Amino acid sequence: MTNFEVNSSAPGKMLWLGGYAILERPNVGFVTTIDQHVHVVGRRNQGNTVLISAPQLATDIVRGTVDTQTGKITLDGAPKELNLLRTAAELSLMHALSIGFPVGGFDIATLNDPAFAYRKVGADGKKLSKSGMGSSAAVTVATVGAVMELFEEGAFTTDVHKISQMAHAHATKKVGSGFDIAAANYGSITYTRFSEQFVRRLPDEGYTKDDVEKLVNEDWDYRVTPLTLPSFLHPVVANFVGESANTASLVGVVNRFKGEEPNDYGKLIVDLNAESQKAIDALKRMRGSEDLDALQTFQEAFDAGRALSKQLWLRSKVHIKDDDPPEVKLGHIEPDDVTELIERSRKAGAFVAKSPGAGGKDSLAALCRTEEDATRLREMWRGERGLEVLNVTPQRRGLSVSRST
């Protein structure tokens, strides 16, 4: 069966528990996927031609070729924004070759659901905002799933995950916790990161299918366990229009604190992880019923974790340098105006609320006890200048791949 089309989709994410602590092993985080996806459609073509259409990354269709013996992809005049997608496809081809499948040319096209959109704001049309829902992780996983399905007899979940982690780290030159890649692949989960060695051992240049095969076959030390939000907690999500957090800058400042005051940093992270674990344990107790004691424990631990995250930034920002760029100096895990907005949101119906993930001003997320509370909160947020309520719902699914003729 050669004349078929592959449809691959991977969801965005929302990190509710474990921000910053999740960067360190063996700490745990809780991340849900959302019902907004990055879609990748692929077909094989004749010869070794590669055609990539990714409107959110490049304005024109990009052409190139694949070396059918090595899996190496060469793109003609591709913008740097396509490096992630190219790397994901290339490692997938090398994986196929490493287990005995021939590879060849292919066409792929990507499409983002609305929550991932970048929005132009202001008269100059240059100010952008993003929702922080994990589009780069989703497009990586969806691309790996599509290309592996095109050239292999089915894509194995663990292999897709490992190749996606390698591709994302290699293309971005950063090794994060990988929770967003894991969620895009596995769905809503609790997650403990892998040791960095598993992706750092992929050579910076000249990697081969043998390098890919060796790393995929290793027993990685990440941990994932399925976990979803209880059905009686109603989420509300909004985007800060015209503003966005620079995650790399925030993490960079926190890492300076870690390097210069390791003991104080370590204690804060231990405390933060302890609150995340309490909240996760409470969620597990609530799987089948609306346990009031568990709800109270969850709320208390959630709020304590939020407070510790803000304390983490207060301790970290001492290490900002005079020559740091403005986005570093102005960064904040939870700015005071967001704290004030969260407090007002609690009065309007939010059971808990926070800036998820690394914080800053990408998005705001809340959980409400009733749909009436959620409706009231949405109305309040719609009245806030610079806040746009998103049509986003947490779900349980991860990567989905199918074939059609």
Q: pLDDT tens, 314-341?
A: 899 888 887 777 767 677 788 888 999 9
Both tokens assigned to 289 = 């019923």
Both tokens assigned to 214 = 């060796």
Residues 281 and 156 in one domain: no
Residues 61 and 160 in one domain: yes
Ramachandran quadrant class, 100 (left: phi over 0; alpha: psi -120 to 50; beta: rest): left
Q: Is residue 149 in a domain?
A: yes
Residues 218 and 258 in one domain: no
155 vs 45, 66, 151, 159, 225, CA distance in Å?
20, 20, 9, 7, 20
Range of the domain at 359: 234-394
The pLDDT, as a whole number, for residue 181 is: 97
Helix count and strand count (H, E) for the chain:
12, 16
The pLDDT, as a whole number, for residue 290 is: 82
Residues 177 and 311 in one domain: no
Give exposure, 121-130, as e/b (b: 16+ Cβ within 10 Å): eeeeeeeebb
Is residue 12 within 8 A of residue 134, CB to CB? The reply is: yes
At 331, which CATH number? Answer: 3.30.70.890
Q: Which residues, 6+ apart, have CB-to-CB distance to 298 below 8 Å?
A: 279, 282, 283, 286, 352
Q: What is the DSSP letter of 32?
A: E
Q: Is residue 100 in a domain?
A: yes
Both tokens assigned to 38 = 């990055």
Which of the residue ranges 58-62, 120-124, 138-142 would you say has the lowest mean pLDDT? Answer: 120-124
Residues 27 and 147 in one domain: yes
Is residue 356 within 8 A of residue 366, CB to CB? The reply is: no
Measured CA to CA, the distance from residue 375 to residue 94 in angstroms comes to 49
70 vs 84, 93, 212, CA distance in Å?
19, 8, 11
The pLDDT, as a whole number, for residue 127 is: 46
Measured CA to CA, the distance from residue 131 to residue 362 in angstroms comes to 5
> How are beta strands 49-53 and 106-112 bridged, if at all?
parallel
Confidence of residue 123 (pLDDT cuts 50, 70, 90): very low
87 vs 68, 106, 171, 298, CA distance in Å?
16, 15, 6, 40
Residues 283 and 364 in one domain: yes
Residues 368 and 274 in one domain: yes
The pLDDT, as a whole number, for residue 1 is: 47
Average pLDDT of the segment spanning 79-107:
95
The pLDDT, as a whole number, for residue 336 is: 87
* Residue-wise pLDDT tens digits, 262-318: 999 999 999 999 999 999 999 999 977 788 999 999 999 999 999 999 999 889 988
Average pLDDT of the segment spanning 355-368:
85
Confidence of residue 356 (pLDDT cuts 50, 70, 90): confident
Q: Which of 51, 154, 53 is nearest to 112 (CA)?
A: 53
Both tokens assigned to 140 = 């990586």
Q: Is residue 403 in a domain?
A: no
Chain centre to alpha carbon of residue 269: 21
* Residue-wise pLDDT tens digits, 271-281: 999 999 999 99
At residue 64, the 3 state secondary structure works out as strand
The pLDDT, as a whole number, for residue 46 is: 85
Q: Is residue 274 in a domain?
A: yes
Of the residues 194, 226, 258, the one at which a domain ends: 226
The pLDDT, as a whole number, for residue 244 is: 62
Measured CA to CA, the distance from residue 212 to residue 103 in angstroms comes to 15
- What is the average pLDDT score of the chain? 90
213 pLDDT higher than 80: yes
Residues 61 and 204 in one domain: yes
118 pLDDT higher than 80: no
Q: Is residue 404 in a domain?
A: no
The pLDDT, as a whole number, for residue 329 is: 66
CB atoms inside a 10 Å sphere around CB 150? 28
Is residue 141 within 8 A of residue 181, CB to CB? The reply is: yes
Owner of token pair 């809780």: 30
Residues 208 and 281 in one domain: no
Measured CA to CA, the distance from residue 401 to residue 155 in angstroms comes to 8
Residues 136 and 279 in one domain: no
Confidence of residue 211 (pLDDT cuts 50, 70, 90): very high
Residues 120 and 202 in one domain: yes
Of the residues 180, 204, 226, the one at which a domain ends: 226
Confidence of residue 5 (pLDDT cuts 50, 70, 90): very high
Confidence of residue 243 (pLDDT cuts 50, 70, 90): low
At 56, which CATH number? Answer: 3.30.230.10
Return the CA Rg of the chain.
21
Q: Is residue 125 in a domain?
A: yes
pLDDT over 70 percentage in the chain: 93
Which of the residue ranges 58-67, 195-204, 212-221 would you say has the lowest mean pLDDT? Answer: 58-67
Of the residues 196, 226, 256, the one at which a domain ends: 226
Residues 163 and 260 in one domain: no
Chain centre to alpha carbon of residue 58: 21
The pLDDT, as a whole number, for residue 131 is: 56
Q: Is residue 87 in a domain?
A: yes
What total number of domains does the chain contain? 2
Average pLDDT of the segment spanning 197-225:
95
